[in-house]
């Protein structure tokens, strides 16, 4: 007798990752875990009734610091060896000064990351490419797109906060949340040496 078919439809999950928010959270709490395979992490966040349909990593190219640029290039190459889409914003330098002493220095800030995440989340909801979004970020600027995909498109949004990036306003509207801890992060690391899609070997930067 043939086995009955399992007609249970799996929940489609799309993961959206705020790269800098995640990086600085890791730097503050678990600097040894920055060599993070975000696609593997996304897989580990799934439950048995879910299927991963996409992983999008949002970042910006660092400028004015050759050593940091080189390390970032290596890490982005590692991410590109996985089925992860990288979406770039801008990394902009701007002067900042102390009102007391008049000292001036350059600071850097990312631009367009929040907008890019919002656009991709809403576009996926409009096109019905996912049932649930997993957002890896603690940025309160993402509250509006979360509410939009929930209220207008009836999608679920689960938030995985990077270490030290927990945000009450985001948690209060999400359909569920957690803080990424040592256990899951330690199990989602790239190997020290990996082989890229072009056949070249890539080694973890010593200072990473």
Rounded Cα–Cα distance for residues 124 and 87 (Å): 14
Cβ proximity of 141 and 165 under 8 Å: no
Rounded Cα–Cα distance for residues 63 and 30 (Å): 25
Cβ proximity of 129 and 105 under 8 Å: no
Cβ proximity of 146 and 132 under 8 Å: no
Report the chain's mean pLDDT, rounded to a whole number.
90
> Percentage of the chain surpassing pLDDT 70?
87
In terms of pLDDT, which residue wins out, 205 or 4? 205
Instruction: State residue 105's pLDDT score.
Output: 46
Q: pTM, whole model, 2 decimals?
A: 0.88
Q: 140-196: per-residue pLDDT in tens?
A: 999 999 999 999 999 999 999 999 999 999 999 999 999 999 999 999 999 999 988
What angle, rounded to 10 degrees, do the helices at 143-151 and 113-126 form? Answer: 0
178: β partners = 160
Rounded Cα–Cα distance for residues 146 and 175 (Å): 10
| In 127-181, alpha helices (H) | 143-151, 168-173
Res 57 pLDDT > 60: yes
Rounded Cα–Cα distance for residues 68 and 88 (Å): 17
Contacts with 45 (C-beta within 8 Å, 6 or more apart), sequence order: 15, 134, 158, 160, 184
CA 159 vs. chain centroid, Å, equals 11
Cβ proximity of 196 and 203 under 8 Å: no
């Amino acid at each position: 007798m043939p086995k009955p078919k399992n007609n249970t439809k799996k929940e489609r999950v799309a993961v959206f990752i705020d790269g800098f928010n995640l990086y600085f959270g890791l730097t503050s709490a678990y600097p040894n875990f920055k060599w993070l395979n975000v696609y593997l992490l996304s897989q580990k966040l799934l439950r048995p009734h879910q299927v991963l349909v996409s992983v999008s990593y949002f970042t910006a190219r660092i400028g004015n610091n050759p050593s940091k640029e080189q390390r970032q290039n290596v890490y982005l190459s590692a991410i590109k060896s996985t089925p992860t889409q990288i979406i770039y914003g801008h990394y902009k330098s701007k002067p900042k000064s102390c009102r007391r002493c008049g000292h001036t220095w350059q600071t850097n800030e990312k631009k367009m990351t929040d907008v890019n995440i919002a656009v991709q989340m809403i576009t996926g909801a409009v096109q019905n490419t996912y049932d649930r979004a997993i957002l890896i970020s603690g940025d309160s600027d993402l509250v509006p797109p979360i509410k939009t995909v929930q209220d207008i498109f009836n999608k679920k949004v689960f938030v995985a906060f990077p270490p030290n990036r927990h945000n009450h306003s985001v948690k209060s509207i999400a359909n569920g949340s957690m803080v990424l801890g040592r256990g899951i992060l330690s199990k989602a690391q790239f190997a020290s040496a990996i082989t890229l899609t072009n056949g070249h070997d890539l080694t973890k930067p010593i200072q990473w």
